Amino acid sequence: MATRYHFTQELVSNGIIELRWIGTKEMVADGLTKGLSRVPHESFVRMLGMVDAPRQGACWKGLREQ
């Protein structure tokens, strides 16, 4: 623990990294570790930049035609 703490503290002191507190509602990783209800899940999906596929198999259509 001490080595990890001192290494991190050195990076902060040298301006290499910046530590910031992030609230749980903005924590993108929460969507991967928690069961979310609809609204938080939709927010998580937007934060990741995910989009719905228009229909099953649509992404393969162009590959089959080549």
pLDDT digits (tens, 9 = 90+) for 7-27: 999 999 999 999 999 888 788
At 10 the pLDDT is: 95
**Locus of tokens 């927010």:** 43
Half-sphere exposure of 65 (CA within 13 A, CB side): 5
Q: How confident is the model at residue 63 (pLDDT cuts 50, 70, 90)?
A: low
40 within domain boundaries: yes
pTM for the whole thing? 0.45
60 within domain boundaries: no
42 within domain boundaries: yes
34 within domain boundaries: yes
26 within domain boundaries: yes
Domain with 37, as residue range(s), is 20-51
At 56 the pLDDT is: 61
Angle at CA of residue 21, ends 34 and 10, nearest 5°: 120
pLDDT digits (tens, 9 = 90+) for 27-54: 888 788 888 889 988 888 888 888 776 6
At 16 the pLDDT is: 96
